[in-house]
Structure 1
């Protein structure tokens, strides 16, 4: 999955927002908790609905390949109980364009257990919908933060 988001804020403000668990908690669909353990590691609990199945994932988010405020890789692994296990990563790149930031991402995900039995199309559709919702909300919130 790939995408681009144009945000009405400079990269420094976008970077700060992407690395603020309290700010992100309110924007990640289904996020129930986020606790920063270090500059590169966060614990999170997120509830996701895949069709008729609702799964609560508990796991870690790790940051690597950090080149502040231009890019990093974000990886996550979460256990969803009987439903299975999910892991994914995204390479995130930010480029300043005038007073705006073009944020580009390329993500991949893998699921195991009952989730994998549901089929790739349902998983891909759900993940795509959640990513669009997150980036729409993130864009609006960060743009508002930049105007303040």
Structure 2
């Protein structure tokens, strides 16, 4: 049986009422990432920029336990970085890459995200639309958490 897969585009822009340096510092802090990644159960360093992650996701057909890795690459201090995420669970696997870009906006910082992911397995059968909605919801949860940690 051929495993089904599809590509998924991920985009978003989030405004945080704080200076770019503060937002950058929080995005580079493992404790912040672990605390804001929805369903994160463990976030263990492998090296300075790579972490093993275990998470429990409860969104639609993506529901279940997943393990994988997060790598932060191509860092341009206070400007941008590339995040590579790989994960696998009973429902399938995902491999994604995204670029996060920070820019000044109205006295705060805008974080723009552009990326794509390849999804396989049972998760892929639910279709791109449902997966797109799930990925947007998870991204919104992450950035709302980050915003609350920074803005207080």
TM-score normalised by structure 2 residue count: 0.86
Structure ranking higher on relative contact order (CA contacts 8 Å, 6+ apart): 2
Aligned with 2:40 (options 31, 49, 52): 31
1:9 equivalenced with 2:22 (yes/no): no
Matched residues, number: 143
Deviations 1:17-49 (A, max 9, x none): 111111222211111110122221111111112
1:60 equivalenced with 2:69 (yes/no): yes
User: Following TM superposition, where does structure 1 have runs of at least 4 consecutive aligned residues deviating by more than 3 angstroms?
Assistant: none
For residue 71 of structure 1, report the CA deviation from its aligned partner: 0.4
TM-score normalised by structure 1 residue count: 0.88
Map of 1:1-148 to 2, 5 A cutoff?
A: 1-51=10-60, 54-80=63-89, 82-97=90-105, 99-144=107-152
Q: Distance in 1 between matches of 2:62 and 2:108?
A: 39
Secondary structure of 1:87's counterpart equals strand
Q: Distance in 1 between matches of 2:73 and 2:36?
A: 22
RMSD over aligned CA atoms reads 1.6
Q: Distance in 1 between matches of 2:148 and 2:47?
A: 27
Cα gap change, 1:2/1:12 in structure 2, threshold over 3 Å: closer, same or farther? same
Q: Return 5+ residue gaps in structure 2 as ranges.
A: 1-9
